[in-house]
Structures are given as C-alpha cells and as structure tokens.
Structure 1
Amino acid sequence: MRVLLAEDAALTRGGLTEILRVAGHHVEAVGDGDALTARIRAGTADLDIVITDVRMPPTSTDEGLRAALSLRALRPPVPVLVLSSYVETEYAAELLADPSGGVGYLLKDRVARVEDFLGAVRLVAGGGTAVDTELMNRLLRRNADDDRLRRLSPRESEVLGLLAEGRNNAAIARSLVIGLPAVEKHIGNVFMKLDLPADLDANRRVLAVLAYLQRR
C-alpha cells in the first residue's frame, strides 16, 4: 500500500515508518500540519491511506484531525487512520460519524502491538472502521445512564466492545474463548436490546454501534 504518515515526533515517525516498510508498504512521511495540508492539496490519487496524529505543529491543537476530515470530504474519500496520545471523544465522534467507513481512531499506546496496528491499517485502507477499545469504553461510560445499555449482561457488554473494534464473529469467539453459536446468540441479544438491525455486514455493524453510542 501507499501510505502517507504525518507525525511530528521524530522517533515515533521513524518507528512507524520502519514498521510499515517492513510490512511491505511504501511510506511517505511528513512532520507537521502544514506539510500534511500541502501534500493533500497536491493530490491524493496516489495514496491508499493517510495515518496522522491529531495534534501537530504549528499550533499543536487539531491539525491532524482537520486534515483527516478534509480527506473524508473528498470524492472519493481517502481512508484515514488517526493516532492520538489521549482519548478525545468529541474529535473521534466527529471523524467516526462518517457512514462510508475507511476511518479509524487508535491510541498511540496500541501501536506498540505491531500486529494490531498493521491489522488496523489494512482494515481502514480496505474500507473498514477501526476503533480503540479505550475510546469505546469512554463512549459506553458517557451513555451509561441509557436504559438500553443497562439491559446488557456483562458478557454482552464485552461483545459490544469487540464488535465496535471491528472484530468478526470468529475473532470474538477466540478473544472470549467461547464457541461461534454463543457469539451469534450474544450479538443477537446486543442488537435486540439496543434496537439495532441484526442483519448488518461487518463494517456496518461497527458503524451501527458507533451511531448508537454517539447518541446523547
């Protein structure tokens, strides 16, 4: 894949570049928001995915996020994976509200798990949605007073979190060490209790869960 990486911390930028190149991807790296914006304006037809930090110079506020949103506004939109040192719920919700997929939000701590990171890159580049577990926990807590969430059993809450990460039924079964029939039953219960359609493909399942959790 052809990857544009935007990260101001030199060590992190170098480490991610090496990880991606070893995995067989072509990487172009920039170190600040101005360089990222200039590269986007120059054209994105040659890019398969953009990976960007949220906060970069010159203002170290939301350069990466604004660039990510501009990429999603293009036609066709460019897949974008946002990395952040913190869970910034409002930023993430704005990005993940895109119904077309091809978006992701991960905490940088998760990048230490190389296979998870590379899996998220592939998922987002392929039109899927990747969501960090901690972000999902924050969204769940934000909606904790919703009666429908209270209907979920502890196991169903675990399944909801794994669904939101984009995991398929087999991956959920492996993570929870249960059989596929049990996973299917729990997913059916989750969607029924949250008033969500049960017959969704993998990416739309993630988006449906996110849409529910973003309700106020």
Structure 2
Amino acid sequence: MKNSVVFKQSKLLITSALMALSLLTTSCGSGDSSRNMDIPGVDGPKVVLLGDDILVDIILENVVVEGGARFNIPNYTNSYVEISPDLQSNGTLLAFSVSLDDIFGGKVDRLDPLTLPGGRAIPGVSGGALPAVAFSVPSIKNIAFYVGPQIFGIWVPVNNLNMAGAMLTTRFYTDSKRVGNLSLVGEDANGENGGFFLALTVSSSQERSLERLADRY
C-alpha cells in the first residue's frame, strides 16, 4: 500500500514537471527569443515605466467581478492596486502602480521578510525571502508585494494550474529587454498557494528616473 502511494506521488511530480517543461518550450521556443512565458488563465503581466511609476497590468481570465475599486498598498502611500472588469474580455483587470519613491524611500527596513505564500522560498533571491506586505482585494486573496534593494516583486494567486509541487522560472522581458524574472509556482502539498511571482529589477533601466529621485533625497 505504501509503495502504491509513493508511486502515485512520484507519477504526479513527473506529470507536473512535464507540464511545466511544456509551458517553457511552448512559450520560449529555442530560448533565443524575448517572448515571455504563458500563464494558464492569465493575459500578461505587462510592464510599463511611466515617469516615476512602474505600471503592471494583469488580466485574470477566469475571475469575474461586477465592479471595480482602487486600494492603497499597505505601508506604501504612493502605490496602489486596482481591480475592475476588463473592457475587452470577460475577465478581470488587476493593475498595480508602483512608485519608485516607495521602493527607494527607505521603507524596506520597516517590513518583515516573507517567503512565498505557503512557506516556499522566493526563486532567484538569496535567502528565499524579501521584505513584504500581504493583502487581499475582492475575489483575489493573498496578493503579496515584496520590496528589496533595487528589486520589487508581486505575487498573484492563480487557481487550477495543475502542476503540483513544480516551480518554473524564466526571464521576463519588456520591449525585448530583460527587466526581471517570472516564476510559475504550482500548488503545494495541500493543493493550495499556486500562482505566479513577478520579480523586477530597478536599476540601470530606470537610470533617468533614479537621477531625478536622487535630487530629492
């Protein structure tokens, strides 16, 4: 009986790994392109630098809301998340506006470091944790906002990924330029906490904006 359980668990892990590999090869081709990984049930994320703000748009194709609202991100007075029905689909638009003032304004030390929901380490980050705040908006629970030295990350939960125990990380591009990493995280041992983690570096690609910020401090 025990051997049967072990076999089933091993088979599930192998199946999840093959599905993750399929996502990688389908999305990224030979590995030479700057195309981002596709996430089941998600259109995006899409990232734009607008002045001193970084805008991240995500369409959740399987989440439906009847109305929209804007919420301040806890502890970050200049940043917010907005949720609303998407105009071009039946899904929901989740939009983040992240202020560089909040990233470089000395607030990082006020937050406790957090791992990904469920206790798994953040991929690509030394120590596996970053200062973070976790919050929820209507229809979407356990969103997390992470900030570290010259980096910030967004965790968005996604249901029914069907890749239990697997984790896949690829480079993330905007206009053919690498700006960070995108990680697809399968469900944990309890069948929960699946989603994706977008980690963006804020350094030379924002040099002009950082020069303006340096004049303020």
TM-score bracket, normalised by the shorter chain, equals under 0.3
Identify which of structures 1 and 2 has the higher relative contact order when contacts are C-alpha pairs closer than 8 Å and 6+ apart. 2
TM-score by length of 2: 0.25
TM-score by length of 1: 0.25
Structure with a larger share of its residues in helix: 1
Structure with a larger share of its residues in strand: 2
